[in-house]
Structures are given as structure tokens and as C-alpha cells.
């Protein structure tokens, strides 16, 4: 159907019997469905007691682990946040939907200087954010607060996505899916002694507060790890004072993150929801240190995850199945008794629609990071890791202005130039890479010794090489497309396409809404909504609108600009 202006909309008016303020889907959702809560830390490997590192205490995470299940083989699809979050939001591999470059929405200055524009990737039209699918099935969905999906979220994706987002804003008895992101463990907090954090006494803040973060800008972050406490330094980093200080800061940030987790858990208990909610804690990729973040070693991909099921089901269990971030979206749906759509590339590892076959492999990719290009693909089974370097002429280490803010990175570069790094620490600074690498992560957890040339492992090398080729072909990996060309495919002439305006008409007493943009979702809300933060209601079926009631209607496809908003006003029926 072609787009129409408001003046050309055909209106056949009848008295409606449902106010548009009613939350569509409330009456047709199963009240027995469980809530789901995601607690997401940033830039963090398994540096907590529940996963074998006793350097610090994390009482809230330790409680979750004691009352829940620890998943010991969970892997991000990338060593950095934005591509990883694209997978979490869609159930798709980033390189399948063009979300593999870090990042697309907000380029670092050095990337801008290279001519890389800010852009959104445009997934296939059938792809929806998993939160939108949850909302379609009656869930109240909130995100607090980080998004960073390589596209701006659909206008229909959340009931609320902001620092104020919380399940407490939902209609009574409505099931919820809520995400809370804890940025205190982010890489940037390794070098910034001040910064934004949450006021743990009033979380989330009051809605009337403006520029809530300003009160924390000159507040120094606490340091919970005493200077005399011994910390573990991985062998690829030197044991020098700047590195030790950074690692202490990393552990201290984890302690602070655990406190934030405790605030949310306490609120869940206060609301009587603890045993009606599936609680999932995980991190968005591996650790923040050099040779961790952005790389496809386990230090950059492997993450800890804890799931506490209602009534402490499976308490204390350890689950070692292979899990990919591509599996999170279908598993969320499966846990909520919703069948995952067939386009999702992951598989459910829990819930009603759990896959009958566990994974044999996980897959990951690395491409542009800020101002530097490379292309690496990874495949891992329960023991062995395979890396395919598509640009072996490039060094392992590629300069990144952002990362060089960290004292540890400055120390590595200083010692490299002074010739004081040992052989293992110098590996990252080799001037070229082999085309293939193979590591035994059981005997070589830091992935130091490349076995690709060892005849004893030739069979495993061929197996994982063929799996890498199969996977890349199966997802139509976009890594081979130059980014400039990819941008033009998404945004012809580097101009963002815009979602067509909705088309509305009255038929048999109800308002029917349509849109000409393939893959667009439709939303509506009262024009008199006293809560402007309230998300758009998902249009699922024709709606009845009372006489003289005004509603706003919008359409949005991921990667496109949202449509113009149209306004429809109810009138007395024509006799």
C-alpha cells in the first residue's frame, strides 16, 4: 500500500470500545509466564570467586552462583561490545548482518579522519530486536541503559530504554524482561579516576533530575583492593607497577559492579519477584586489558555466566555446554515459552524450545576496530581454538588511540621500544601473522603456542578449518565486502533510507494501520500521554479508538530513519 498524507486517509468513524491507553496484549498473555532479568557487566572475563579467582569477594554474584547454575563455556561473538550486542539483540552473527565493524554509530576521531561516516547497519527485513518479540507476546521490556547495537533501536523495541528504565513502571501483574547494564567495569574506567556511576541509594534516579551524571563527574572512584594484595598478572603482560596498578583497578571495579548487582537484586526481593524471575548475569565480552579486549583469544571472548532459576532449581550446578552469544535471543524466547523465529542463527540452550542437540563449535569474528582494519575468524570446540588470519601481512598489534589511554598499554609500548619484554610478551608485537593458528586451550589457556604446523594436530586443523569455511558460507559473511561498499549497500549514496509514513483507515469500526516499507514495525500511543517516556505500543491488530481521542502512529525499520508521525483523531460515527 502506498504512503498517504493525513489529509488523504479514508476515515469511517464508529464508536470505539477500547482506549488506546490500554496496554495491548495484557489480557492475552499467560500470567504464569516468568519474568526475565539480565544483569550485564562490561569488559570482564571470569575474574570472580564463582569461576575460580579468589582475589576479591563478590557476595552478590557468589549468592547467585550458589543458588543458580554456572555456565563455564560461554563465548561472545566478538572481543568488543557493539558487534556482541548486535548478536544479543537479534540472535544473528554480526558479520551476517553487516554489524561486524567496531563501531558504526559513533566513530572515533581517527576513524572519522579516514572518512568513515557514522552509519547504521541494516539487517534483513525479517530481523527484529528480541525485546520487540517479547513485547509482542505481552512482556513489559526495559533497558537500563546502554544500547550500542550497531543500529539505533527500533522505536517499537522497548517500553523504555533509559537510565530510568525499570520493571517497576509496568502494569501490575504484567511479566517483564528487564536489562541492567553495569558500566563500571568498562575498559575506560581503567584510566579514568572519576566518572559516572549510579547513586546506589536512589537507583534509578528521579525522573525530574536533569543531567543526572554531573554530580559524579568529580567524584573519585573507590579503590577496594589494598596495595599489598597480590594480584594475578597473565604471562603476556609484564609484572611492573603500572600493570599491577591497572589490574588492581580492574578488580576494584568488579567489587563496585557487584554492589550494583546487589541493589537490583534487593529491589527484586522487595517486590516479591525473586522466585518468579529468571536472573541471568553475564558480561558482554572478555577482559579489558591489552591482549584481551578486541582479540579472539579466550581472554577476549570467554565470559562467565550465572543463571538463577526460580525456587533455586539446579542450585550449585555447573553446566559446561558450549554457548554462543547468538544463542541468547532464542534462549530468552524459549525461557518465555515463545518459539524463536527461524531466521535466528543461534539455538536455545534452555527453556521450552531448547535445542535437542548441543553445540559442537562456537564462532567469532574480528574486523575494523576504530581506525584499524584486520579480518580474523575463529572457531572453537570444547578444547581447541582455530584462527584464520585473512590479512597475515598485518601485525597482531594494531595501534588504537583509545586503548593507548591505559597505563598498561603505555607500559607495553615503552618496554617494547626498550627491548625489555620477554618472548611471550613480544608475541603480540610480531610484524606478521601466520595464515592459520591452532591452540589447545586445555594445556595452553593463554593461547601462546601455535600448533597449526604440528603434524600431530593436522586432523584437528583440517576439521576446524572446514568448519570455519562452512560457517562463513552459511551466514554469508560480509567481512569480504569493503566497508565503503557495505555502507553504500545499506545507505545508497551514504544517505540513510527513511521508513515510509504509516497508512491508516477505518474499517468495520476499527483503525487499520499499514506501511509500505518491508520489515517496518508499527507503533501507536495516545497523543495526550502524560508520560512521554512511555514506549510506543506495538500494533498487532486493528484497534478501536474512542470518539475525540487522538493517537499518534509511527513506523520504523531497523537501520532506517523512523517515519514521520501521523495523528489520527476519532470522531462520531457517520450515520
The DSSP string of 142-200 is EEES---SSSPPPTTS-SEESTT--GGGSPTT--EEEEEEEGGGSGGGGT-SB-----T
The C-alpha atoms of residue 442 and residue 10 are separated, in whole angstroms, by 68
H-state helical runs in 29-104? 59-67, 81-90, 94-97
The C-alpha atoms of residue 158 and residue 38 are separated, in whole angstroms, by 14
CA angle 151, 472, 460 (to 5 degrees): 135
Q: Residue 78: which residues within 8 A CB-CB, separation 6 or more?
A: 84, 87, 94, 100, 102, 285, 301, 364, 365, 366
Active-site residue, 468 included: no
Distances (CA, A) of 413 to 82, 363, 408: 26, 31, 9
Strands 277-283 and 510-514: unpaired
The C-alpha atoms of residue 437 and residue 386 are separated, in whole angstroms, by 6
The C-alpha atoms of residue 40 and residue 60 are separated, in whole angstroms, by 14
Calculate the CA dihedral of residues 306, 78, 253, 371 and round it to 10 degrees. Answer: -170
- How many CB atoms neighbour CB 393 within 10 A? 8
Contact 68/312 with Cβ under 8 angstroms?
A: yes
Three-class DSSP category at 110: helix
Q: Residue 127: which residues within 8 A CB-CB, separation 6 or more?
A: 90, 92, 97, 343, 519, 558
Q: Is the dihedral of CA 11, 12, 13, 15 positive or negative?
A: negative
Residue 515: exposure state from Cβ atoms within 10 A (0-12, 13-18, ≥19) = buried
Whether a cis peptide bond, with omega within 30° of 0, leads into 103 is: yes
The C-alpha atoms of residue 304 and residue 45 are separated, in whole angstroms, by 6
Beta bridge partners of 522: 555
Q: Which helix (H) or strand (E) holds 241?
A: helix 241-270
The C-alpha atoms of residue 538 and residue 535 are separated, in whole angstroms, by 9
- Among residues 81, 121, 141, 468, the one annotated as catalytic is 81
Contact 345/95 with Cβ under 8 angstroms?
A: no
Catalytic residues: 81
Amino acid at each position: 500500500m502506498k504512503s498517504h498524507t493525513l489529509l488523504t486517509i479514508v476515515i469511517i468513524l464508529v464508536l470505539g470500545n477500547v482506549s488506546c491507553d490500554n496496554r495491548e496484549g495484557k489480557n492475552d498473555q499467560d500470567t504464569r509466564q516468568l519474568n526475565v532479568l539480565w544483569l550485564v557487566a562490561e569488559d570482564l572475563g571470569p575474574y570472580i570467586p564463582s569461576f575460580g579467582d579468589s582475589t576479591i569477594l563478590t557476595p552478590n554474584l557468589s549468592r547467585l552462583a550458589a543458588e543458580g547454575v554456572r555456565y563455564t563455556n560461554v563465548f561472545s561473538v566478538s572481543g568488543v561490545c557493539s558487534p556482541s550486542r548486535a548478536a544479543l539483540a537479534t540472535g544473528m552473527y554480526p558479520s551476517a548482518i553487516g554489524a561486524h565493524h567496531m563501531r558504526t554509530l559513533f566513530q572515533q576521531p581517527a576513524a572519522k579522519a579516514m572518512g568513515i561516516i557514522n552509519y547504521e547497519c541494516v539487517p534483513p527485513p525479517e530481523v527484529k530486536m528480541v525485546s520487540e518479540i517479547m513485547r509482542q507476546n505481552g512482556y513489559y521490556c526495559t533497558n537500563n541503559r546502554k544500547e550500542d547495537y550497531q543500529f539505533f533501536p527500533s522505536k517499537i523495541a522497548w517500553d523504555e530504554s533509559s537510565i530510568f528504565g525499570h520493571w517497576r513502571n509496568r502494569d501490575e501483574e504484567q511479566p517483564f524482561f528487564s536489562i541492567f547494564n553495569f558500566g563500571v567495569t568498562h575498559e575506560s574506567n581503567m584510566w579514568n579516576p572519576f566518572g559516572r556511576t549510579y547513586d546506589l541509594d536512589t537507583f534509578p534516579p528521579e525522573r525530574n533530575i536533569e543531567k543526572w551524571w554531573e554530580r559524579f563527574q568529580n567524584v573519585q572512584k573507590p579503590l577496594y583492593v589494598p596495595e599489598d594484595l597480590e594480584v594475578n598478572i597473565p604471562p603476556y603482560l609484564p609484572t611492573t607497577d603500572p600493570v599491577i596498578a591497572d589490574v588492581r583497578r580492574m578488580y576494584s571495579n568488579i567489587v563496585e559492579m557487584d554492589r550494583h548487582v546487589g541493589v537490583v537484586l534487593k529491589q527484586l526481593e522487595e517486590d516479591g519477584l525473586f522466585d518468579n524471575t529468571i536472573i541471568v548475569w553475564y558480561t558482554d565480552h572478555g577482559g579489558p586489558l591489552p591482549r584481551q579486549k578486541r582479540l579472539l583469544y579466550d581472554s577476549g571472548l570467554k565470559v562467565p555466566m550465572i543463571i538463577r532459576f526460580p525456587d533455586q532449581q539446579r542450585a550449585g550446578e555447573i553446566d559446561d555446554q558450549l554457548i554462543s552469544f547468538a544463542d541468547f535471543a532464542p534462549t530468552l524466547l524459549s525461557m518465555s515459552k515463545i518459539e524463536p523465529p527461524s531466521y535466528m542463527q543461534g539455538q536455545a540452550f534452555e527453556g521450552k524450545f531448547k535445542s535437542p542437540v548441543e553445540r559442537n563449535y562456537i564462532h567469532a569474528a574480528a574486523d575494523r576496530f576504530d581506525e584499524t582494519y584486520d579480518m580474523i575468524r575463529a572457531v572453537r570446540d570444547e578444547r581447541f581454538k582455530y584462527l584464520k588470519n585473512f590479512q597475515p601481512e598485518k601485525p597482531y598489534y594494531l595501534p588504537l588511540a583509545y586503548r593507548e589511554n591505559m597505563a598498561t598499554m603505555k607500559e607495553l609500548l615503552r618496554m617494547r621500544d626498550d627491548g625489555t619484554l620477554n618472548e611471550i610478551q613480544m608475541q603480540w608485537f610480531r610484524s606478521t601473522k601466520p595464515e592459520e593458528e591452532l591452540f589447545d586451550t586445555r594445556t595452553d589457556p593463554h593461547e601462546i603456542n601455535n600448533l597449526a604446523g604440528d603434524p600431530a594436530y593436522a586432523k584437528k586443523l583440517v576439521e576446524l578449518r572446514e568448519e570455519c569455511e562452512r560457517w562463513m558460507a552459511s551466514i554469508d559473511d560480509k567481512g569480504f565486502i569493503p566497508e565503503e561498499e557495505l555502507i553504500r549497500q545499506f545507505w545508497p549514496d551514504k544517505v540513510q533510507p527513511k521508513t515510509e509514513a504509516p497508512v491508516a483507515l477505518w474499517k468495520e469500526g476499527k483503525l487499520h494501520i499499514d506501511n509500505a516499507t518491508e520489515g517496518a514495525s508499527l507503533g501507536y500511543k495516545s497523543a495526550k500521554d502524560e508520560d512521554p517516556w512511555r514506549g510506543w505500543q506495538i500494533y498487532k491488530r486493528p484497534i478501536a479508538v474512542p470518539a475525540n481521542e487522538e493517537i499518534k502512529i509511527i513506523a520504523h525499520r531497523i537501520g532506517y530513519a523512523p517515519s514521520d508521525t501521523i495523528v489520527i483523531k476519532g470522531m462520531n460515527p457517520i450515520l
